[in-house]
Structure formats: structure tokens, C-alpha cells
Structure 1
Amino acid sequence: MNRHDQDVERTFAALPPAHGRGFADTWWGRAWLKALEDTALDSQQLKAGRRLARAGCVGAVSVRPGRITAVVQSRGGTPHRADVLLEELDGEQWDRFLDMTVERAGHVAALLDREMPPHLVEDAAAAGAELLPGMGDLEPECDCGAWDHCGHTAALCYQVARLLDQDPFVLLLIRGRGERALLDDLQIRSTTSTEEAAEPEGVDAAEAYRTGGILPPLPTPPELPTEPGTPPSLDTEAPPGPGVDPAALEYLAARTAAEAHRLLTEALRPGTEQHTMEEELTLAQDAVRLAAGADEAVAVDRLAEASGRDRQGLARATRAWRLGGAAALSVLEEEWTASGDALARARAALESAWDEDERPSLRASGNRWTVVGAPAQLRLGRDGRWWPYRKERGRWVPAGAACQDPATALASAEPDPGEEPA
């Protein structure tokens, strides 16, 4: 951390109670909550934290590099100072993040619009600057004496998720860089990069030949391209051979380039030493994966046929895929019966997710729990996560990403205020 960032602090007024709504609407807000829920050892403390946050028991939130702080009132009215710590990015990590960002004007524009698109976070991670916390990164401190996340620190985290929804610069401040300083640094680097680009680079060939024996080693290979390459166009005057569809080949080549870029990004990510092999997709699953990136009607029609679905069925499948890949697609299309330990854990999660007077009436069928009298449904995945579904035009469709907490998942399935029931 450098310059005036060392003393940056923002204070946010206490937010109103959050009865009947989820704590995060954006994908980065949900990622923040996932880090909390994957870290906390006691689900009862998470439930207590949600209850306190929903009731408006979290006071003004102070945000500064490496730490968030608030006074949280317990249910008995006792105030507790709750802090949650998150490691700051060091100077080298910030340099890599800034260098990466100035190369992509869209990243700066997204931040100025108070957005944090997935590819910004992915590019930052590929550059060695992890923005979002992972399991174990949110470290709690509370004067109640708890050694793990208690209801007070959990309530603070749930409340901060609402702040992150409104302004992703809050996350960057916790990581160590305030908004004004960050934008100033980006402006300086952008100007410097433009000036350097105007100067010719390279070494005179004759000079290189004369000093070949004493030249230093070759430089390191160039960094990973920011975007996949563009395949060559097959739109030529020569007619295609029998059974060859140039448009289909161009589409497959473009998707292959994008997938290769993604895999290479994962392989070159700093600190990544081991990669788990993903299960091979079936033909129907792979058709959905391809359709999720298609924007041409011809490609969609062919992929629908290849996957054994009509266009509406493929649209529901691609909607699920964008939310969670093969796991989300399986939840959409597979109904199974939870039993034994899986059923016991599901019932316990549903029992503890709401207070007695807030719990909705649910009708169970297999791994699906439908809200009685409402177009909302929870589906249990085989990994124990809950997926929200909403009824639209007489069919159940995915309404959001998976959550460990069924109450948070169900809040995603509820229609927006003023929205007509489907």
C-alpha cells in the first residue's frame, strides 16, 4: 500500500432491516457470502448472523484497508464490536492489477459503472491479484470472545454483501486501495503506456549479430493474451466440400479458441500447481455448453437438435448452464429422491434457515421443495447446495446461482417488486 491510501476510510450508515430479501443480488456479493459460509464452522452462528442483519442490528460500517468494523446489537440489546479482516494486496499485486486493467478499457468503464464483471475478476486472478475472498480469507474478531465467526461477525459480513452490491469499490478498498487513488494510478499508467508505445522498440540487427556471444539470455515468454485469438474466415470463393458447413466450422473454431484461452489462463495462474480433471461431458451437455456462447439463430437451432431439445428447452438449459455449468444443468433436468443422511441434512437446513414465524410452507417432491401458493421452488443438488427456481409461463426455470443457505436461495426465486406473477 502506498501514498495517501494508508489513511483511507469510508463509513456507511446503518442499513434498514432486510426482511424478506436476500443479502446479495450481484454475483460478486454472493461470492463474498460464499467465502463466509464456506469458512464458518457453526451453521447456527450463520443463522444468528442472518437474523441480526435482517433485523437491522448492524450499526454504521467502517471500511478501511484490511478491515471492516461495526457495532452489532445482540438480540438482548448488548452492543458488540465486530471486526472482519481480509488480507490486503501487496504493492506487486496492485502493480499487476493496474497493468492488466489499463490494457482493457472495458474494465475501467465497468468499475466506473459500479459493476464488477466476471472477466475482470478472472483477469485479475490470472495476473496474481485475487480480489474476491476464498475459504478461510475472512478472519473474524469480536469482543464477545468467540474464536470463530459468531453471530456478530456473520451479521457484519451479511450487511457488507449489501454494500458490495451497491459499490464494488468497497471490495477494492478492503483489499488496500481507495477509489480516488486507484483511478489516479490508472490515469498515470494509461498516459505512460501511450507515450511508451510511440517509441520504437528492438535492437539493430547488425549490432545484435556482432554481440551475439555476450547477449543476455532470451526474455521470458510474452504474457497470456487478454483475449482469445480470432480464427480465420472461411468465407472464400471456393465452394465447400460435401458435408462441410463453413458457418458451423467458424463457430466451433471460435468456441475452441475461447476454451483454450480459459484453460491456459487456469494453467498459468500464479500458485496453481495442480489441476483437477473435469468429467467428460455428454453430447447433450456439450451442445448446451456451446449454445451458452452462441448468438446466431442458425447455431442455436442446430445445437437444439443435437441436444435433443426444442428451442425453449435449450433456452432453459443454457440459462442453467450459465448459472452453474453441468451441476446446474443436472439440477434442471434430473429429479431424484433424497434419503438417508442427505435427507436429514436437507431437513435440518430447512428447519434452521428461518425463524418459526418466517418459515414458508413447503411441499416436497423428490429433491424439490415448492412454496405453497407461490411460483417459487427450491431444488437440492447432489452436492448439498440449494438452487432457486421460479415458475414462468407454466414451467420451472432457474432463478439464480446455488447457495448453501436455502433462505438466501429462495429469496432469489421471489419476483421483483411490481413484477406480475408468471
Structure 2
Amino acid sequence: MSDAHDETYPFRGGGGMDGNDGSEHVTTHGGESAAPDGERTFAALPPARGRGFAETWWGRAWLQALEDTALDTAQLKAGRRLARAGAVGAVSVRPGRITAVVQDKDGTAHRSDVLLQRLSPQEWDHFLGMTVERAGHIAALLDRDMPPHLVEDAAAAGVDLLPGIGDLEPECDCEAWDHCGHTAALCYQMARLLDQDPFVLLLMRGRGERELLDELQVRSVARQDAEGTVPAEPRAAAPEGVDAAEAYAEGVILPPLPEAPPLPSEPGPPPSLDTETEPAGEVDVAGLAFLAARAAAEAHRLLAEALSPGHAHQPVEAELTLSEDAARLAAAAPDAATAARLAEASGRDEDGLAGAVRAWGYGGRAALAVLEKEWTPRGDVLARARAALDAAWDEDERPVLRAARNHWTVAGADAQLRHGTDGRWWPYRKERGRWVPAGPAAHDPATALAMVTGAE
């Protein structure tokens, strides 16, 4: 704690932070500045609305150390809100400490610090020795990556790179005795920086990037000289492992694949949209939640079909059109506002969407096509259709049907048969002046018509 500074870091116009000790800061790429003593300063990041604070596993491990340590979950939530709102100024990172000015909602600025124990010279010696033994570790660091095996090997050498419970020690001028909303906000912002560059964590542990790479280079050359090999730059080190084509060719050495997991009994729950952050712009939260639930249900249906016997020999269906997909979604009974948007997007009114939903329920896209598309049967198709109609009833019971393209309407009744392109018959009835589907298709026209006349 002896390395704490007494000065306060005010916000600058560009969201940066500057000390008042007269030290010179050199601007580098990506809104970052570097000081001669190894300190790195990162410009304030934009608000984090709509995204998580940690995408990498080591960034999440950083936040886990914070969340496992903090005694007041309300302060963690306050910190998340501040970080999401962009209230954290430029972040200064130096060995053992990160610092930023964090603004409350009322604009009050607080100098906040989070301390992390530096590695001892002996721990650094162990870490550097372990790293040069595996070229893959150097290559990963140069790619701004921190693979689990690097951290595991370091731990085996007695070096804990990532913080654990109680390792992130807070200091804030708001005088909170534990992590306050300001230090929590700084930690959440730090997770975003760690996602971009794990060298930031190594700087907190005591070594800057340039110093670390120089030491690795010296040790790598010394090790190669001792082994009588040709020195090579760390950046040119080949990654460990076997070429994928070679591994595939030697398939006999690979373990057998595990059995596929069983099909879940129902779709999994979609991601929760119940967050502390207000939706940006004109996001329709209810509509988005409905679409997420339908996507989960559709994924479950497709997986069930894919696992069914003979699926590989089934023809691939064409993608749904906008009109068909709107009917499919509306059939899942969305709220009124979402249903209205589906109707408008598909060029239908309220009654038109209701008819499309009814058709979809009776027979999917085939039933919807019969509802919304008329077609003129060829002569041979028409002849077969008439023969089917004649054979369906005795002559004295046969209803009088008036034909118009593929529609056969019962004279004097609000009943109709529609002939599909696949030869099936669809029953229709007239409701409020509009023809609507009355049941599923049948191969026999008399059976289809009975669905209508029996319901009247």
C-alpha cells in the first residue's frame, strides 16, 4: 500500500487521466498511454450496454475473484451500473495497483484504487523459466492470449497469475471499508481491458510487456545456446501439437467419440432479458423475448427431426418466406403488440393474420398456400378432380358445386372445397364474409366437405 499516490486524477476532455506529479506520458495506439516507469493508462471505455464485461475465461476469473470477495452484493450491482453507464474514467495500471476516477450519478468524482500483490523476484524467475520451456506459452502471450495450460503450468511452478478470493484489495476516497460501487465499477472495467490484453494483468503482477518479452528473449537464446541449437526469435516459435491433417490420417490413435447426448424432453429456456440496464433505443423487449423462445423451440424441433430414423434421406425443405414465417410465429400466440407487428410486416390485416394462423395450424405451409394462392388445374388434373367429386356421393346426394379455378363452392351454403396442388381437398367455410380454413386436408372430397357441413 506504500505505492499509493496522494494526488487526485481529474477527468480530461477525451476521458483520459493524468497525474499532477509532472511525469511525462507518451500516447500509444488504441487510446492508451505509457509512462516511463512502466505505468500504462487506458482511455475511458464507452458504455457497455448490451454486452458482458468479460468474454475471455481469464477476464471472468478476474470478476469471480471480485464477486467472491465482496461482502455487499448491492455494491457489486451499483458498480455494474456505473461501469455500464461509462462512469469509469481513464484507467491507470502499474505494478500492484490500478487507479481510476469514477463518477456517481450526481457527478461526484471519486479516486478509486484496487491493489493486487506483486510477484516476488523468485516467483518471476519460476514463471519465466517455465515459459521458455514451452514455445507455445510464448506464442500465446504474443497473440494476447492466456490459455488455461499456461496458468496451470505457472501454478505448478508456484506462481498464481490470476487473483483469488481476497486478492483484490479496494481503496476509495468514499471511505468504504469493503468494495464500494466505485472500486467494483473499476474492476468491471478492468475485466474489459484484460479481455483485450492479458499483459495488463502481468503488469499488475510487476512486469511490463517490453521488460517481460526482453527477459524471455534473453532466456530463450541462452537456453538454445546451451542446447547447441540455432537461436530463434520468440515470435517465430512454432506452436506445439500435431498438424490436423496428420492427426486425422493417424485416426487409429484417436480415442473413440463419445455417444451423442439424448434429445432433451423440451426446448431449453432462452437467455433472460431481465437486466438492470434499460434497453437501448426502441428495442421491443417483449418481442425479442418471444423470438428467443420461438428460436429455442424451433431448434429443438429441428434437432428432433435430425435424430429421427431416415432423416438423411428426406429432401431439404426450402426456407420459409417472410409471409410463411410470420404465420408460423403468430401461431405461437404472441402478445398483441408483437402480433400486430407480424401482421404489418407480412402485409396482412388482423383478420388476415388470424386466417393464416388457422391455416398454419391445420397444415403448415401447404395449408397456407391453399388459403392465399389460387391456381388453375390443368385439364387432366381437373378431370381427375371432377371424377373424385362424382364418386364421393350417390347421384341423389351429390351437392351442387360451382367451380372457380381450384375452388368448389357449395351452392346455397357457406361451405367450400379447395383443391391443393398435391391432390388433397381442404374444407373452408365463410365467416364474416371471408373464407377461412375449417379443418385439415383429406384425400376424399366428401370427407373434407363433411368437416364443414357437420360443423354448421
**TM-score with structure 1 setting the length:** 0.52
RMSD: 3.6
Query: Which residue, 276, 283, 289 being the options, matches 1:354?
Result: 276
User: SS at the partner of 1:7?
Assistant: coil
Preserved CA contact (<8 Å) 2:130 2:157 = yes
Preserved CA contact (<8 Å) 2:49 2:277 = no
Pairing 1:394–2:299 present: yes
Give the match for residue 127 of structure 2: 97
In structure 2, distance between residues paired with 1:180 and 1:374: 49
Pairing 1:373–2:290 present: yes
Query: Which residue, 128, 150, 166 being the options, matches 1:120?
Result: 150
4+ residue runs over 6 A deviation: 332-336, 360-363
In structure 2, distance between residues paired with 1:392 and 1:333: 11
In structure 1, distance between residues paired with 2:199 and 2:101: 22
Query: Which residue, 85, 107, 114 being the options, matches 2:137?
Result: 107
Preserved CA contact (<8 Å) 1:23 1:161 = yes
Preserved CA contact (<8 Å) 1:66 1:85 = yes
Structure 2's unaligned 5+ residue stretches are 1-34, 230-239, 242-249, 302-456
- CA distance 1:22–1:129, change in 2 (3 Å): same
Pairing 1:152–2:182 present: yes
Preserved CA contact (<8 Å) 1:9 1:63 = yes
Give the match for residue 134 of structure 1: 164
- CA distance 1:111–1:357, change in 2 (3 Å): closer
Deviations 1:362-404 (CA, angstroms, capped at 9, x unpaired): 99xxxxxx97224279xxxxxxxxxxxx8496149xxxxxxxx
- CA distance 1:148–1:308, change in 2 (3 Å): closer
Give the match for residue 46 of structure 1: 76
Give the match for residue 210 of structure 2: 180
The structure with the larger Rg is 2
Counterpart residue type for residue 109 of structure 1? A
Counterpart residue type for residue 136 of structure 1? G
In structure 2, distance between residues paired with 1:148 and 1:335: 42
Preserved CA contact (<8 Å) 2:60 2:191 = yes
Structure 1's unaligned 5+ residue stretches are 200-226, 229-245, 253-298, 314-331, 337-348, 364-369, 378-389, 397-422
Pairing 1:166–2:196 present: yes
In structure 2, distance between residues paired with 1:118 and 1:20: 27
In structure 1, distance between residues paired with 2:220 and 2:104: 48
Deviations 1:64-100 (CA, angstroms, capped at 9, x unpaired): 0000000000111100000000001101111111011
In structure 2, distance between residues paired with 1:47 and 1:125: 31
Preserved CA contact (<8 Å) 1:9 1:64 = yes
User: SS at the partner of 1:70?
Assistant: strand
Give the match for residue 4 of structure 2: none
How far residue 129 of structure 1 moved from its aligned partner, in angstroms, is 1.1
In structure 1, distance between residues paired with 2:121 and 2:209: 16
- CA distance 1:66–1:107, change in 2 (3 Å): same
Sequence identity percentage: 65
In structure 1, distance between residues paired with 2:208 and 2:266: 46
- CA distance 1:350–1:16, change in 2 (3 Å): closer
Pairing 1:197–2:227 present: yes
Query: Which residue, 42, 48, 53 being the options, matches 1:18?
Result: 48
Preserved CA contact (<8 Å) 1:18 1:56 = yes
In structure 2, distance between residues paired with 1:112 and 1:308: 38
Counterpart residue type for residue 224 of structure 2? T
How far residue 333 of structure 1 moved from its aligned partner, in angstroms, is 8.8
Query: Which residue, 86, 103, 114 being the options, matches 1:56?
Result: 86
How far residue 198 of structure 1 moved from its aligned partner, in angstroms, is 3.5
Preserved CA contact (<8 Å) 2:94 2:204 = yes
How far residue 34 of structure 1 moved from its aligned partner, in angstroms, is 0.8
Preserved CA contact (<8 Å) 1:6 1:65 = no
Counterpart residue type for residue 58 of structure 2? W
Query: Which residue, 104, 111, 118 being the options, matches 1:88?
Result: 118
Counterpart residue type for residue 182 of structure 2? H
Deviations 1:168-223 (CA, angstroms, capped at 9, x unpaired): 10000001000000000001101111122249xxxxxxxxxxxxxxxxxxxxxxxx
Preserved CA contact (<8 Å) 1:52 1:155 = yes
In structure 2, distance between residues paired with 1:197 and 1:153: 49
Counterpart residue type for residue 140 of structure 2? A
In structure 2, distance between residues paired with 1:193 and 1:136: 37
Alignment of 1:195-234 (within 5 A): 195-198=225-228
Counterpart residue type for residue 102 of structure 1? V
- CA distance 1:335–1:146, change in 2 (3 Å): farther
Deviations 1:329-381 (CA, angstroms, capped at 9, x unpaired): xxx89999xxxxxxxxxxxx998x515778x9999xxxxxx97224279xxxx
Query: Which residue, 93, 98, 103 being the options, matches 1:68?
Result: 98
Pairing 1:79–2:109 present: yes
How many residues are paired up?
246
- CA distance 1:6–1:121, change in 2 (3 Å): farther
Alignment of 1:302-313 (within 5 A): 303-304=258-259, 309=262
Give the match for residue 414 of structure 2: none
Bigger relative contact order (CA 8 A; separation at least 6): 1
**TM-score with structure 2 setting the length:** 0.48
